[in-house]
């Protein structure tokens, strides 16, 4: 797979395509980053952007993981002390998950976000941005219903992180896109380049196929799940045998989260996937590419129960190093 394919595979959006092409032409020494609010335990949502960082490392990029402690604090995720503690645990889990340690720089937000220059640049961005724009940027990120001043500062700090970390690409889930668009608009006002960004898709809730999977609501998979936890969550997952025939009772279209997890988590990390089946049901199936598995599920050749069995097995392999590390 060439650098451009590695960089863009499974991305929901890149901004802009021309900028990504230029980076793909010469990835050596370029740097990409994702920021994570340290809260709770590493889960499948974090793992999706981590997969993209692994792709970027393979393409020749260097990687920064921002453990955004100040952002977590501004987003009401606990005391500074608790957040710091979680950040340390997350760092170890990212390495266990498969980020190349020799090529990953972990940075705590508070290591640079409290410096004088950063603070003054932040105030300059505050002057450039309306409250309404900041609020819109935070629509899919902020916790809690009422808008606090801290949530208006948050996206401006996220924008400023990009030049301060000296990165060439900002990576995030689609819920981060409005912050990155804000960054493109406001950073030139302080003589900084508009940043290039790459967004990963949002995966539906495992249990219902609706909305997006997160640690706070619905069913998710975390780096602390036991094999039994994974098996039972995957077993109960929404997985219609064919493409959703009709939008459901409430008119909200559903995705197939089992297929999504195969596409965005399993195939990027394994060369091939074997679905084990007893001989009497046709024997094992081996897939080199996601599309073939999807086609078989939709044609009925592959039964959802067999697909789920394989999914639990591969998820368990991805998560086992994190679980083991936790036990140490
Ligand atoms: N907004 C992210 C956390 C975050 C991301 C980046 I990229 C930053 O520079 C700072 C914070 C979240 O929702 O987890």
User: For a substitution probing ligand 1, which of 32, 34, 37, 137 has the most ligand atoms within 8 Å of its CB?
Assistant: 37
In this structure, the residues whose C-beta lies within 6 A of any atom of ligand 1 are 34-37, 66, 68, 71, 141, 158, 161, 170, 172, 176
Binding positions are 33, 154, 158, 161, 176, 215
- The residues that bridge with 170 in the sheet, in sequence order, are 33, 197
Domains 3-200 and 227-327 share a fold: no
Q: Which residues contact 142 (CB under 8 A, 6 or more apart)?
A: 75, 151, 154
Buried b / exposed e over 145-181, threshold 16 CB at 10 Å, is eeeeeebbbbbbbbbbbbbbbebbbbbbbebbbbbbb
For the chain, report the end-to-end CA distance as a whole number of angstroms. Answer: 36
Residue 315 Cα to ligand 1 midpoint, Å, equals 25
For residue 64 the two structure tokens come to: 């920064």
pLDDT of 153 reads 98
User: What does the DSSP 8-state code read for residue 281?
Assistant: G
- The residues that bridge with 104 in the sheet, in sequence order, are 63
Whose Cα sits closest to atom 11 in ligand 1?
Answer: 35
* Atom of ligand 1 at shortest range from CA of 109: 10
Helix (H, G, I), strand (E, B) or coil at 15: strand
Residue 82 φ then ψ, to 5°? -60, -45
Nearest Cα to Cα of residue 203 among 248, 244, 259, 243? 259
Residue 181 Cα to ligand 1 midpoint, Å, equals 14
pLDDT of 26 reads 96
What is 55-89 written as a DSSP string?
Answer: HHHHTT-EEEEEE-HHHHHHTT---HHHHHHHHHH
Nearest Cα to Cα of residue 160 among 196, 127, 128, 186? 186
Hey, what CATH topology would domain 3-200 get? Rossmann fold (3.40.50)
Which H or E run includes 285? Answer: strand 285-287
Q: Which residues contact 161 (CB under 8 A, 6 or more apart)?
A: 33, 35, 66, 68, 109, 113
266 and 235 Cβ atoms separated by less than 8 Å: no
- CATH match for 227-327 among 3.30.70.360, 1.10.240.10, 2.60.130.10, 3.40.50.620: 1.10.240.10
For residue 245 the two structure tokens come to: 């025939």
pLDDT lower than 70: segments of the chain: 213-217, 242-252
User: For a substitution probing ligand 1, which of 65, 72, 158 has the most ligand atoms within 8 Å of its CB?
Assistant: 158
pLDDT of 5 reads 97
Q: Measure the CA–CA gap between 289 and 267, rounded to whole angstroms.
A: 7
Whose Cα sits closest to atom 9 in ligand 1?
Answer: 158
Residue 105 Cα to ligand 1 midpoint, Å, equals 16
ipTM: 0.98
Task: Give the global pTM.
Answer: 0.94
Return the domain boundaries, the chain: 3-200, 227-327
For residue 317 the two structure tokens come to: 């392999």
CA dihedral sign of residues 14, 17, 19, 25: positive
pLDDT of 155 reads 98
Alpha-carbon dihedral 11, 45, 39, 219, rounded to 10 degrees: 160
């Amino acid at each position: 797979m060439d650098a451009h394919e590695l960089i863009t595979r499974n991305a929901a959006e890149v901004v802009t395509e021309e900028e990504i092409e230029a980076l793909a032409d010469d990835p050596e020494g370029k740097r990409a980053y994702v920021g994570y609010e340290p809260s709770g335990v590493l889960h499948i949502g974090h793992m999706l952007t981590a997969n993209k960082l692994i792709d970027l490392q393979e393409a020749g990029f260097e990687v920064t993981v921002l453990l955004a402690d100040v952002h977590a604090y501004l987003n009401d995720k606990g005391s500074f002390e608790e957040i710091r503690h979680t950040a340390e645990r997350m760092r170890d889990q990212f390495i266990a998950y498969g980020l190349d340690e020799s090529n990953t720089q972990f940075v705590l937000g508070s290591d640079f976000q409290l410096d004088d220059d950063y603070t003054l640049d932040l105030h300059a961005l505050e002057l450039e941005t309306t409250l309404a724009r900041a609020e819109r940027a935070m629509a899919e990120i902020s916790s809690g219903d009422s808008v606090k001043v801290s949530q208006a500062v948050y996206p401006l700090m996220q924008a400023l992180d990009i030049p301060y970390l000296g990165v060439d690409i900002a990576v995030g889930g689609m819920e981060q896109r409005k912050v990155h668009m804000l960054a493109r608009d406001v950073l030139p006002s302080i003589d900084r380049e508009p940043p290039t960004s790459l967004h990963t898709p949002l995966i539906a809730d495992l249990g219902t196929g609706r909305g997006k999977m997160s640690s706070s609501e619905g069913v998710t998979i975390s780096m602390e799940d036991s094999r039994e936890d994974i098996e039972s969550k995957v077993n109960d997952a929404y997985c219609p045998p064919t493409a959703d025939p009709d939008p459901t009772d409430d008119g909200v279209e559903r995705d197939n989260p089992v297929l999504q997890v195969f596409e965005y988590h399993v195939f990027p990390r394994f060369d091939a996937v074997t679905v084990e089946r007893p001989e009497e049901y046709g024997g094992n199936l081996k897939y080199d590419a996601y599309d073939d598995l999807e086609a078989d599920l939709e044609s009925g050749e592959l039964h959802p129960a067999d697909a789920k069995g394989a999914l639990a097995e591969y998820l368990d392999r991805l998560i086992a190093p994190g679980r083991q590390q936790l036990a140490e």
